[in-house]
Amino acid sequence: MTTQVKKPPLLFSTGFMFAATALISLIVVPWYGFAHGYSATTWGIFGLFWLLNGLSITAGYHRLWAHSTYKAHPVLRWFLAIWGAQALQNSILVWSAQHRHHHKYVDQNDKDPYSAGKGLWYSHIGWMLRDYPSAETDFKNVPDLKRDTIVMWQHRWYWPLTAFMNIGLPILLGWVSGEFWGVVLLAGVFRLFVAHHLTFLINSLAHFWGKQTYTEKNSARDSWVLALLTWGEGYHNFHHMFQNDYRNGIRWWQFDLTKWFINVCRISGLAWGLRRVPKFRILRARLSMDFVRAERKLQNSQLEQKWKTLIEKEYLQFKNTIHEWQELQAERANDVGEKLINRWHKTAFHTHAKELEYRLKMQRRRIALLSITLGK
């Protein structure tokens, strides 16, 4: 006899909120638009709310507080904390604690709060609809945030603040603009529905659809389409590999509105200490994946032994470059108080590092050509 696994109890308040915003957004909002129309002012308020609470999650909750990828002036931190409450994704403290847990235990069904291993629906919204043990908030991993007065103020006053930002502010602006129901429906309810589900795509679809550019050790994927929809968060494979980098889209042409916003704040003096992963580490990760894919193609090909020997030769050179880089880093760490004071030694270190980066770049090109050959 098989025993039926008992599901955790439903969280009716959360389920009601998601169901209500969905039904109003999919039925009432279109009906009101056809019957009465939405003015340009109403659409403008909708766009402004969506932009501000979106950036407050990506630049604030995520990259500032959860990962500490940069430092911010109190003015910016207050701004992000207040508008982040409008996103209705819990307080900074709770959100960051769960997110750090997700990174630590990604894809582990019994520990990852929104594990992709439990399916697309679960990782998108299902994990919030029941009282799952894996979704319990453990505040042991956010001691730094407990010392942050702005974070703790927002956590303490989160529900009154989010009520004002999601109900009071749309009502107020609707009354002032003379578009009461239009603003309440479009900028209040519909904006919340859209912002929620686009954000949730990073927990769900970004772990199922896209490229694993830097690692296959977790399910995260890179997708430029999801990046467009989530202010740059769609380069998720990079983020899971290099979570301490303030960027998600590292190329100049990759859409990462959050990265650009943080840079504007840096120029204006509101942000500083932007953390970037060394270029060599990024190249190393990409080249490692190139070798993995080349070896797979090699296993399924009928090419001569000379191609296999060539791949082995390239991989040996790759390992030697990595070893040389590690020695250089060790030398830098040992000499930081002595030789690096000398300008010549700093220049020599920088030149050597650039040479190693260039070596990996050229090797990536050679492996790409080999992969094309193997694919024929």
Residues 19 and 93 in one domain: yes
Judge if 62 and 157 occupy the same domain: yes
Residues 6+ apart with CB under 8 A from 273: 70, 71
- Calpha distance 376→372 (Å, rounded): 7
- Judge whether 151 and 231 are in contact, CB under 8 Å: no
Amino acid symbol at 369: L
Give the 3-state secondary structure percentages of the chain, helix then strand then coil, rounded to 5.
Answer: 70, 0, 25
Same domain, 291 and 250: no
Phi, psi of 271 (to 5 degrees): -140, 150
**Do 248 and 297 belong together in one domain?**
no
Integer Cα distance of 59 and 231 in angstroms = 9
Per-residue pLDDT of 100-110, as tens digits, reads 999 999 999 99
Cross-strand bridge partners of residue 71: 272
Contacts 24+ apart (CB under 8 A), 281-287: 281/242, 282/214, 282/242, 282/250, 283/357, 283/360, 283/361, 283/364, 284/322, 284/325, 284/360, 285/214, 285/215, 285/241, 285/242, 286/213, 286/214, 286/364, 287/318, 287/360, 287/363, 287/364, 287/367
Does residue 4 form part of some domain? no
Domain assignment present for residue 52? The answer is yes
Q: Are residues 266 and 344 in the same domain?
A: no
DSSP state, residue 118: G
For residues 54 and 104, state if they share a domain: yes
Report how far Cα 287 is from the mean position of its chain's Cα atoms.
22
252 and 352 part of one domain: no
Choose one of 272, 287, 312: the last residue of a domain: 272
Where in the sequence is the domain holding 370, given as residue range(s)? 279-375
Low-confidence ranges of the chain (pLDDT < 70): 1-5, 298, 300-308, 325, 332-350, 352, 363, 369-376
- pLDDT (0 to 100) of residue 1: 41
Pair (91, 234) in one structural domain: yes
Of 231, 249, 272, which residue sits at a domain end?
A: 272
Phi, psi (rounded to 5 degrees) for 217 = -80, -10
pLDDT in tens, 295-332: 777 676 665 566 667 777 777 777 777 777 677 777 76
Output the pLDDT for position 338: 55
pLDDT at res. 306: 64
Angle, nearest 10°, between helix axes 191-203 and 12-23?
Answer: 120
Q: Are residues 115 and 232 in the same domain?
A: yes
The reported pLDDT for the residue numbered 349 is 63
Per the domain annotation, does 103 fall within a domain?
yes
Task: Let me know whether 80 and 178 are in one domain.
Answer: yes
35 found inside a domain: yes
- Residue 143 φ/ψ region, left for φ over 0, alpha for ψ in the -120 to 50 degree band, beta for the rest: alpha
**The total number of structural domains that make up the chain:** 2
Residue 1 within any structural domain of the chain? no
Q: Is the pTM of this model over 0.85?
A: yes
Answer yes or no: is 5 within a domain: no
Residue 3 lies in a domain: no
162 and 288 both lie in a single domain:
no
Same domain? 111 vs 257? yes
Query: What's the CA gap between 342 and 337, in Å, rounded?
Result: 10
Asked if the structure places residue 60 within a domain, the reply is yes
